[in-house]
Amino acid sequence: MAGNYSPKTHHRREQPGAVRFYERSGYHRIPLFAPYHVLPQSNCFARNLH
């Protein structure tokens, strides 16, 4: 995926309200990034700035 992205964000999967907030705000899930890649309960998001 090409484009300019805002800073990435992370939160725990046990926070469904946070998932809804990010998805409604235009963020999409991305692969886990360090140091969260070793935490299977993590979610990572990014947002295209275009």
Range of the domain at 25: 9-46
Q: Tell me, yes or no, whether 4 lies in a domain.
A: no
On whether residue 30 sits in a domain, the answer given is: yes
pTM of the model: 0.64
Give the total number of structural domains in the chain.
1
Q: Is residue 3 part of a domain?
A: no
**pLDDT tens digits, residue range 15-24?**
888 889 989 9
Is 31 a member of any domain?
A: yes
* Contact by Cβ (8 Å): 41, 14: yes
Which amino acid belongs to residue 3? G
- Asked if residue 1 lies in contact with residue 50, where contact means CB atoms within 8 angstroms, the answer is no
Share of the chain above pLDDT 90, in %: 8
